[in-house]
């Protein structure tokens, strides 16, 4: 397959990997916040889907001709839509909290409720082909045009343009992509260097001890679920306000569960989540781009890899996943 431009294909694959990994990173940060404070969240998928939907519908609503022009202005309209998505995520997180902390229903069931509810509600209120005035623009445009770049010819069909191709990877991305990387570092730092982080971790490891020391266990858990919900909301917003720009039924397509897998894969650490989601994002990108490289391998089999890897890691065949000690169990105050 000599007509394949390997240089182009590699850049495209890396960009696709980044695009896949953004919602997964954010979703697994959501999972980490919950699990580090003792709450399992299998409802990340539902949180993402619901926020993707409300964010998108807000965008649709504000794009109607009868809405005033100040609200339709791109920055205002998209900020409102983003805020609605974040609030939806927080509300879903709090619902998970009310069900699993106040009513003490099994955290797995509560998560399942979130997922089914989101699938049902978004399907019920779904409108086909609702128009919007556009999605989030790229934050920084690639400053290095191809025409001024140096051509680096490695082979006949293997050419890079420097620094144009590097710019295509580093720039031409929207706000949420940069934000997600920033959030990884902020949370990674906060989890180990702030009072909140210490409290969160102690609640997840031993809530009884934390309670004895005067930490309000439930408050920490509710806070983290709301914050985590906002992260999942940001992931949902990424799908409908940045990456795709449209809502389709069930469009999260298992990303919430991959996020859960990545959380385990990254050993419940934000930095691990970033590495894990880039790896999984790369696997997913390859799934779509294999043909570009002229490799004829069924993409579904590549698609199985993240899940198999997660089981391998969880079972301790390679490395050892160490969940917080008290995760998944309801805590009862005395």
Contact positions toward other proteins, by CB under 8 A?
40, 42, 99, 103-106, 108-110, 112-113, 116-117, 119-126, 207-208, 254, 257, 260-261, 264, 291, 296-298, 300-301, 303-304, 307-308, 310-311, 314-317, 323, 326, 328-332, 334
14: CB partners within 8 A, 6+ apart: 169, 285
Min dist. Cβ of residue 247 to other proteins (A): 14
In this complex, which beta carbon is closest to other proteins, that of residue 126 or of residue 178?
A: 126
In this complex, which beta carbon is closest to other proteins, that of residue 47 or of residue 264?
A: 264
Min dist. Cβ of residue 236 to other proteins (A): 18
Min dist. Cβ of residue 144 to other proteins (A): 35
In this complex, which beta carbon is closest to other proteins, that of residue 147 or of residue 333?
A: 333
Burial of 107 from C-beta contacts in 10 A (0-12 / 13-18 / 19+): buried
In this complex, which beta carbon is closest to other proteins, that of residue 137 or of residue 298?
A: 298
Report the 10 Å Cβ neighbour count for 62.
Answer: 20
Min dist. Cβ of residue 315 to other proteins (A): 4
Check: CB of residue 136 under 8 Å from CB of residue 237: no
Min dist. Cβ of residue 53 to other proteins (A): 12
In this complex, which beta carbon is closest to other proteins, that of residue 87 or of residue 105?
A: 105
Token digits of residue 309: 């890897």
220: CB partners within 8 A, 6+ apart: 37, 196, 199, 200, 203, 210
Distances (CA, A) of 95 to 225, 226, 330: 9, 9, 15
DSSP line for 138-167: BSS--SS-GGGSEEEEEETTEEEEETHHHH
Min dist. Cβ of residue 328 to other proteins (A): 7
b/e map of 232-244 (b: 16 or more CB within 10 Å)? bbbbbbbbbbbbe
Residue 292 backbone dihedrals phi, psi, to 5 degrees: -60, -35
In this complex, which beta carbon is closest to other proteins, that of residue 89 or of residue 256?
A: 256
């Amino acid at each position: 397959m000599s007509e394949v431009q390997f240089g182009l294909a590699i850049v495209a694959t890396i960009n696709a990997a980044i695009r896949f990994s953004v919602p997964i990173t954010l979703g697994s940060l959501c999972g980490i916040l919950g699990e580090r404070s003792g709450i399992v969240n299998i409802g990340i998928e539902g949180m993402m889907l619901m926020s993707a939907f409300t964010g998108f519908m807000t965008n649709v609503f504000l794009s109607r001709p009868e809405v005033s022009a100040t609200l339709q202005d791109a920055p205002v309209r998209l900020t409102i839509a983003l805020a609605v998505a974040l609030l939806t995520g927080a509300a879903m997180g709090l619902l998970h909290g009310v069900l699993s902390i106040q009513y003490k229903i099994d955290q797995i069931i509560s998560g399942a409720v979130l997922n089914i509810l989101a699938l049902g509600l978004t399907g019920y209120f779904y409108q086909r082909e609702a128009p919007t005035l556009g999605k989030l623009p790229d934050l920084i445009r690639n400053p290095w045009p191809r025409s001024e770049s140096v051509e680096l010819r490695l082979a006949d069909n293997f050419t890079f343009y420097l620094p144009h191709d590097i710019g295509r990877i580093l720039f031409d991305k929207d706000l949420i992509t940069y934000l997600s990387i920033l959030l990884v570092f902020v949370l990674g730092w906060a989890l180990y260097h702030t009072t909140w982080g210490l409290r969160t971790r102690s609640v997840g490891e031993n809530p009884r001890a934390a309670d004895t020391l005067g930490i309000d266990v439930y408050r920490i858990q509710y806070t983290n679920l709301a914050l985590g919900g906002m992260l999942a909301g940001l992931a949902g917003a990424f799908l409908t306000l940045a990456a795709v720009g449209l809502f389709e039924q069930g469009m999260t397509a298992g990303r919430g569960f991959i996020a859960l897998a990545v959380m385990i894969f990254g050993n419940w650490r934000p930095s691990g989540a970033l590495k894990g989601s880039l790896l999984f994002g790369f696997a997913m990108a390859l799934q779509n781009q294999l043909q570009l490289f002229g490799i004829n391998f069924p993409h579904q089999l590549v698609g199985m890899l993240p899940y198999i890897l997660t089981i391998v890691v969880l079972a301790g065949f390679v490395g050892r996943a160490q969940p917080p000690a008290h995760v998944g169990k309801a805590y009862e105050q005395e």
